[in-house]
Amino acid sequence: MVDLKAYLQSHSKEELHPSELANLLKDLSDKDFAEALQLIPKELIAIVALELPDRYFDDIVESIDSKELALSLTELESDDQTDFIQELEERDKTKAQEVFNSLDLDDQEDILELKKYDDEQAGAYMQKELFVAKLEDKVSTVIEEFKKLKLSDEIENVHNLFVQDDKNKLSNVIGLEDLLIFDFNKTIYENIKENLEKYTPIFAYDDEDIDEVVQKFKEYDLNTLAIVNRAGILIGRITSDDIYDIINEQATDQMYNLAGVDDEAEEDDDLLKAGKSRAVWLGINLITAVLASIVIGFFESTLQSIVALAILMPIVASMGGNAGTQSLTVVVRQLALGDIAKHDALRTIKKEVVLSLVNGLLFALVIGIIAAIWFHQNRLGIVIALSMVINLLSAGFFGSVIPLMLKKFNIDPAIGSTVILTTITDVVGFLSFLGLATMMLL
C-alpha cells in the first residue's frame, strides 16, 4: 500500500500508467487491495482491470458502481471497451447492461458492432477510432484534424493516415513521416499521384482469420493494419499492441496444451474446474500407460529370466520420450509461427528423423558399452543399442508427423500431441527392447 500511495503522490493523473498501477495492486493483500482501489482515479479503473489477471476482475467491478465504470470506459478505445463489457457480462449481466446503457450512443454502436464477430475473426480485435482523409483533402486540413484528435484524446497509437475514395473504400495508407513532408498546400492526391505504388494499402478483411492477420504483422513489420469489409470499405484498424497480446495468448495456449492443461481453467480461481480439466488428460494418460504395461506383460517370462532387462528398460523409454518431445515442441512452435509451409512438411520430417537417428547412434554406442560392462554381457549391450536407435528414430518421426497431421485436419497441434507421442515411444521402446532381448538372449 505504501508503494502505491507513493506512486500516486509522485505522479500527476496524466503521468499514471495503468500497467504500473496493476503491478502495484498485485503486490497487495486482499484487504489492502479493496482499499487501494478507492485511491486510483476512477477514469483509470477499467484499463487497470484489463491489465490485471482475470481473478482480480470480480473484486474491481464489485467495488465500483456502474456509472463510475461507464465513465472509466469512455477513456478506452472501442476494442478495449468491448473486451471489458464482454468480461463483465460473463460475471454480472445486470451490471454489464447498466454500464452499457450509461455509455453514449456512439460507444454503444461500436461495442455492438465488434461483439458480432467471432473470436477467430479480425473484426473482433479492431478499433473503430481512425485517422482518415479523402484523396481531395488538403494536407494542411488533414494535419489540423489530426491535431484536434490528439488534443481531445480521441485516438491513440497513430502511425498512419488511411485515405478513402469518394465511396469510403480504402484507397491508400500514408505513414505520418511522409505526411509531414508533403506540400501542405496541395491535396493528398496531388502529393502521392507520382508514386501511388508506395502508398498501396496492406489490409485485412473483417471476417479474416486472426492468425492470418498476425502473419501479416510479422511479414510486413506493421504498426497498424487497416480492416475493411468485403466491399472494400474501411471500418477499423488493428494495432501492434493487440497483436502482441494475441501472440502471448497463443504461446500460453500452446504451453498449456502441450502439458494437457486448459488455459481458461488454470486462470480461474475455481479449483474444481482446474482439477477437472487436469483429470481428463491424466485419465487419458493412465489408459496409455496401461497399454504400455500390457506390452511389457507379453514379455513376462523374458523379464523373469533376465533381471537386467527390468533395470535397463526405463532408459530406452525415457530417451525416446525426451527425443520425441524435442521434435514435437520444435514442430508445434514452427507451425504456430508459420515457419512450415504446406509443401514443406517432408523437409521437416526428414530433418527431425536425421537428427534423431544421429542422436540415436551416438547414445546407442554409449549405453551399449555401459550395459555390456555393467552386466558382463556383450549381447545385452547390442540389444539395448539397437533398441535405442529404433526408439529414437521413431520418436523423431512421430514427433514431427503427429503435429503435422493434426494441423492438416485443422486440429490444434498442441492438443493431445504429447499423450499420443508418449504412448508411441513407450510402446515402441518396450516392444523393441524386450522383443530383441527375447530373440537374441534367450
Asked whether residue 122 is domain-assigned, the answer is: no
> What residues form DSSP beta bridges with 233?
169
Confidence category of residue 142, pLDDT binned at 50, 70, 90: very high
Helices (H), ranges, 259-377 = 263-267, 271-297, 300-305, 308-337, 345-375
Instruction: Please give the tally of structural domains in the chain.
Output: 3
Cα distances (Å, whole numbers) of residue 261 to 267, 351, 417, 425: 11, 29, 12, 21
Asked whether residue 303 is domain-assigned, the answer is: yes
pLDDT per residue over 326-351, tens digit each? 998 888 878 877 777 667 788 889 99
pLDDT at 63 over 90: no
Domain limits for position 303: 259-441
Same domain, 207 and 350: no
Q: What is the domain-level CATH number for residue 61?
A: 1.25.60.10
Q: Which cell goes with 205?
A: 478483411
Same domain, 226 and 266: no
pLDDT at 10 over 90: no
pLDDT per residue over 227-236, tens digit each? 999 999 999 9
Residue 277 has a pLDDT of 65
Average pLDDT taken over every residue of the chain: 88
pLDDT per residue over 80-137, tens digit each? 999 999 999 998 999 999 999 999 999 999 999 999 999 999 999 999 999 999 999 9
- Average pLDDT over every residue of 52-63: 86
Residue 268 has a pLDDT of 56
Same domain, 103 and 147: no
Same domain, 396 and 274: yes
User: Crossing angle of helices 308-337/417-441, nearest 10°?
Assistant: 150
- Average pLDDT over every residue of 386-391: 95
Same domain, 263 and 226: no
Of 88, 116, 144, which residue sits at a domain end? 116
Residue 271 has a pLDDT of 64
Residue 442 has a pLDDT of 75
Helical (H) or strand (E) element with 89: helix 78-91
Residue 83 near residue 115 (C-beta atoms within 8 A): no
Residue 370 has a pLDDT of 95
Residue 259 has a pLDDT of 61
Report the alpha-carbon distance of residue 417 to residue 406 in Å, rounded: 8
Same domain, 159 and 227: yes
Of 90, 116, 142, which residue sits at a domain end? 116
Same domain, 349 and 282: yes
- C-alpha 176: how far from its chain's center? 30
Residue 18 has a pLDDT of 87
Task: Give the pTM.
Answer: 0.73
Same domain, 280 and 420: yes
Same domain, 270 and 350: yes
Asked whether residue 121 is domain-assigned, the answer is: no
> CA angle 69-73-74, nearest 5°?
125
Residue 174 has a pLDDT of 96
Residue 311 has a pLDDT of 92
Residue 26 near residue 52 (C-beta atoms within 8 A): yes
Q: What is the domain-level CATH number for residue 201?
A: 3.10.580.10
Instruction: Select from 346, 345, 321 the least CA-distant residue to 396.
Output: 321
Same domain, 103 and 136: no
Asked whether residue 251 is domain-assigned, the answer is: no
CB under 8 Å to 254, separation ≥6 — which residues? 332, 333, 336, 414
pLDDT per residue over 410-422, tens digit each? 777 777 788 888 8
Same domain, 234 and 372: no
- C-alpha 5: how far from its chain's center? 35
Of 205, 240, 275, which residue sits at a domain end? 240
Residue 342 has a pLDDT of 67
Q: What is the domain-level CATH number for residue 292?
A: 1.10.357.20
Residue 263 has a pLDDT of 56
Same domain, 265 and 401: yes
pLDDT per residue over 249-294, tens digit each? 877 776 666 666 655 555 555 567 667 767 776 787 788 788 888 9
